[in-house]
Structures are given as structure tokens and as C-alpha cells.
Structure 1
Amino acid sequence: MQALQFSATGTLDSLQLRDLPTPVPGAGEVLIEVRAAGLNPSDVKNVLGRFPYTTTPRIPGRDFSGVVVSGSPELQGKAVWGGTGKGFGFYRDGCHAHYVVMPADAVAPKPQSLSFAQAATYGVPYITAWDALERSQVQAGTRLLIIGAGAVANAAQALGNARGAKVVMGVRRAEVAQDLEAQGIRAFQLPEAKQLPEQARDHFQQQLPEVIFDTTGFWLPAAINTVDSFGRIAVIAAPADGLVNVPALNLYRRGGSIIGVNSLLYSLEDCAQMLRQIGAAFEGGLPVPNGFIERPLSEAVAAYHQVNEGGSEKIILIP
């Protein structure tokens, strides 16, 4: 089979498309013909050596959809999606290949409302957003402020809206806020940090948000000063040095909580359970975005370089 593989970390220089033996499933595993695989920024960071537990040589890739071709008889021929969890693409081979082996209980049925390419876009961003909303207790009526406009922020908006939350997005650029408003999504351009509480009140009928999900890593201090009493702040990123000065006194006085969200803490089986619930939401009418481009696996190395150079388009690799 053809597969993307890197033999060393630190640069993208060792990343190559290679002819490798098709993997053989063991007991309790299935062999999946990959129909589409998402390319996430974490895949690029993996090759660049940002994850110390990665072992080489390694096939990267965390999100995929495909068809089971051997292994569990009850799954054979079924369309599935999976990935995202602990170790996948880091110390066990991932899905940027023609075939991938997975535990049988680590895949979920692909929603019929999604194409293979669409399904491959959702794993990392939707599981991350799902975990953030679950652990910050977002439900019907919750005032939810999402900071950022990337894939995870957009997933959180869709999932929060499906839960019946009162969702508002704060974004850096005015044109992005205008585009979101044109789509019927409540949004505003982020002000100076000290003005965030006032802006939030303006968009939540003079109330503060009960939950703030900072997907950027730069708004935690302002979020602490903005969240309501007993509020929750979910974070998925931080500055490069990992250090943030926070107004701890204000956090304590508000009875607030900070929740770190990391999909790599979950097993593949855990992530499959989340995908089943996310899949049910899609079958129930969750909007299906189409903001991605498809590229053949033969162009995967160039696609990695594109993401590394700051490209913002979501790329789906098609074996």
C-alpha cells in the first residue's frame, strides 16, 4: 500500500510517500480501507517533534473515514469513521495511508448524512469541542461565549447551538464577525482585553457568560474577568512558552473553574463513543459544513508544507 511515513522528527524533510506492506489485523482488530483522511495542525506538529512520546518510523494521521475490509465479521463492508485518540499517529500508525488497522470497538458507524470526505474533517475538532462542552456543562439555555474562529471554535458553535445553548462568538477580525453574522451566528469583533466584560454583557442581555471556551490560548486572563459567578472556562491552547499570568483573586472570588481540554488523553475507544454521539447529532440535523479542499494522497507532503506555512484551508487527503 502507499502510505505517508516519517523516519525522524524535527523537520518535514523525512516525510515521504512510501510503498509499505498492508497491515494485518490481529485479534479484536479490523482492517479499514481509508477513503478520506483529515490533515490537522497536530499532524504537522507531530512530524516537527512537538510530541515527545512519538516513535519512528511512523505513519501520521489522526482522523479518517473508510470501509472495513477484514476482521470483525459484523463490521465487514460497513462505512466507519474513527481516530483522534491516544497514541494514534504517534506511537501506533495513523491513517495517512491506503489502509489502517484499528481495534474493532474503536470505530463508529459513519453518519449517512456525511460523505467520506466530510466525515474525515470532523474527528479532532468535533471531539475536542464535544469534550469542552461536556466538561463545562453546556446545556439548553447556557450562555456560552466562544473565543476564536478556527475549526474547534466552529465545531463548538454548531454543537452548542444543537444543545440549545445561547452561543456568541468573539473573533479577531471584523470581516470574520460580519461573515458569521451573515450566516445567522451571533458574533462580535474582540475588543481590548479590559473591554471584554462589557462586550459580553452587550451580547447576553446584560448578563455575563456562564461558560467561556477560549480556543486561542490568549484570552484566559480576560475570560476570568468576564465569566459569571461559578462559571467555567475551557482552554485548549496557550502561548508558546505555556505561561499565562492570570488574575487568580478574581477567579477565586467568582468561584470559577478552568478546564483544560486535550483529546489525546482519551483512548481510541473513548473517542469512538464520542463519535457515536456526534454522529447522532449529524443525523438529527446538525449542519454539515463544506469548507475544505480534497487533495490526493500523492500530494500529501506538499499539503503538510502548506499547513506548516500557515495555510488555513482544511485539507482532506484522498488515497
Structure 2
Amino acid sequence: MSSTPATMRALLLTKAPGATAPHITLTTKHPLPMRQPGHVLVRIHASAIHPSDLLNALGGFGHNVFPRVPGHGVAVFGTSGSTHTFTVDGFQADYAVVPERAVVPKPDSLSHVQAATLGVPFTTAALVVRRSEVKAGDTVLVIGAHGNVGRCVCVLLEEMGCKILRAVLGQGADIDTSADPELKSVSRLAPTGVNAVIDTVGSPSLSSAAIEVALGHAGRLVFIAAPRARGSSVAHLCTNMLDFYRAEKSLVGVNTVSHSSEQMAGLLRELEPLFESGRWKYAVSGEWEEVCIENAAEAYASNDGRKSVITMA
């Protein structure tokens, strides 16, 4: 007789007709997901609450099918793609069903909590760096370099042999965007401009300044975020089109939700040497607050910038 239970604990996003945002609750009697051909049933040990999860819980993606178990980051080891948490249940539950090709063994160098917190930012960083088309010796400006994704981007760029200019809000990096919002100091640090800008923040004014001031000839700006539209208000980038095309610059958007879980697993496999060597530790900053799943709904509701990871013990 199987020891797998018929039901499980799970966070659940529901949305009442006419409601503007979903409601998140804990259920202890959620049906165990049914394993399909080519899929495996995975026991979840930990799942991080990433900024994308918080946005999803506010209805920020718009293509969810409710009710739905949330959670992108998981200690399988992995990260979700275009389906999990949206049209397929995510990982903030005791169990989840995932495609066999989307499962990556957890590196021995990572604890369950570390595996849950690193999969999403590292795969995002890998996509961004790939789309930036940078190579060894290139100079890259990273906006938001001290954030979760920004630190992972810097680790990958260092591995490639790139020169990095770090821009953060406040002191402690090459550029303080609060004191230099127009990024004028880039002209001193990289007189001919940078080969690429990787923007993990999504501030229209900073992005516009990066295009106008920071990018050198044939430079590429790659960004992964933008302000959430409110009503009919949508953020826009402003640039001089004449200078833009004459300098052969490029603007690239990267959306991890457009990629399948199998594709994201492929990125993790490519990063295996990084995790085996322990060089991933350079991307870790601060402590993740561990919360049990029974308190996870409250962690969502009260989140004020803290980094929380749900443990299933």
C-alpha cells in the first residue's frame, strides 16, 4: 500500500467573480495532484516567496486560472516556467507534479532552502546574460546589482570575464542611482560607453538614461521588469530615435514566464559547474526568513520587502 496521502497542505489562490485581486489561504485538504505520463510526483521541502510570487498574488500577471497553488521557486531543484502557478499548480504545497525533463537533481552544495531561493534568480540571470550577447572583455552596467537577480547576473558575468559596473540605490557600488539618476558617472568609468546594460529594476527614467548615456555603439539594453500599470497609466521609455539607430543600439525585453519549465531546467543544468564549485555563494545576500506553510499566507499579506522561504517540515 502506498504511503502517499490522498490530500495535502497547500496555499491556494482564489478569485471571486468581480474581485480585482486573488485571495490567498491555506488548505490542509487539497487533493494530491495526479501524476500524468511523462511527469513525476515531487515532495516539496521548501519554496521561496519571490517578488514575482507577490505580484502574482496581487493579480499582476492576468492569465491565471483559479483556484491555483502559487509558488515559482522550489527545492526540487528548479524554477517554474510558463505554466506552473498560472495554469498548473505551483510549488507552495506538500507535493507537485512536474515534467520529468523539468526535474534537476539538487546539488550537494545546496541546502533545501538555498535550492528553493536560487533557482529563480539564477535562471533569470542566465536568460538575461544570454540575450545580452556579451563576451569576455565586455563592459556591462548592471542596474540593481545588489538585488537577487542582479547578484546572480554579476556572478555569471564575472565567470565570463566581463568588466562590471554595479549601479544600486545608495552607496556601496560603482554608481549610486539616487545621487546620479542620469548615470552621468558612466562616462567617467567607461568613456566610450558600455557594451551592454542589464536592468533588473525597471525604472523608466533609469532605463532611458542608460540608453541615452551609458550604452556605447551597438550596445544592448536588456531588462526584466517594468512598473505595474495602474488603470490606463503605462510606463514608457524615452529615447532619441535618431541617435538610437545611428549608434545601432538594441533594446531587449526578457520575460521568464514565456519559457517552459523544461527550458528553465536546461538552464539549471548548464549552471551545474557553478553550483558544484560553490561560486554561487557570491550571489547570496542577507538571510531568508523561514516560515512554515501554516504561516505562509500571513507572510504574503505582511511582506514589506523581507525575503521569505516556506518550509514544509
Q: Does 1:188 align with 2:181?
A: no
Question: Which runs of no fewer than 5 residues in structure 1 stay unpaired?
Answer: 67-80, 178-185
Mark the CA change 1:93 to 1:278 in structure 2 (over 3 Å): closer, same or farther: same
Q: Does 1:142 align with 2:138?
A: yes
- One-letter amino acid of the counterpart of residue 64, structure 2: T
Aligned to 1:270, the other structure's residue is in SS state helix
Number of aligned residue pairs: give it. Answer: 289
In 1: Cα distance, 2:252 partner to 2:137 partner:
20
Paired residue for 1:128? 124
In 2: Cα distance, 1:6 partner to 1:278 partner:
32
Mark the CA change 1:250 to 1:284 in structure 2 (over 3 Å): closer, same or farther: farther
Give yes or no for contact 1:111–1:280 (8 Å, CA) kept in 2.
no
Aligned to 1:55, the other structure's residue is in SS state coil
The partner residue of 1:172 within 169, 173, 178 is 169
What's the CA shift string for 1:74-133, capped at 9, x where partnerless? Answer: xxxxxxx12320011011000000111100001112121111110111222211111110
Aligned to 1:20, the other structure's residue is in SS state strand
Aligned to 1:108, the other structure's residue is in SS state coil
In 1: Cα distance, 2:117 partner to 2:101 partner:
21
- One-letter amino acid of the counterpart of residue 78, structure 2: G
What's the CA shift string for 1:237-269, capped at 9, x where partnerless? Answer: 223323222222222121010110110110110
The partner residue of 1:42 within 52, 56, 70 is 52
**Greater Cα shift, 226-235 or 247-256:** 247-256
The partner residue of 1:267 within 232, 252, 260 is 260
The partner residue of 2:199 within 214, 221, 238 is 214
- One-letter amino acid of the counterpart of residue 229, structure 1: H
TM value normalised by structure 2: 0.87
Give yes or no for contact 2:26–2:294 (8 Å, CA) kept in 1.
no
Q: Does 1:223 align with 2:210?
A: yes
- One-letter amino acid of the counterpart of residue 188, structure 1: I
Question: Residues 293-304 of structure 1: matches in 2 within 5 Å?
Answer: 293-304=289-300
Q: Does 1:158 align with 2:155?
A: yes
Mark the CA change 1:110 to 1:130 in structure 2 (over 3 Å): closer, same or farther: same
**CA shift for structure 1 position 30:** 0.5
What's the CA shift string for 1:204-238, capped at 9, x where partnerless? Answer: 4x342111011111222111122010111001122
Aligned to 2:185, the other structure's residue is in SS state helix
The partner residue of 2:244 within 248, 251, 263 is 251
The partner residue of 1:88 within 84, 91, 114 is 84
**CA shift for structure 1 position 315:** 1.2
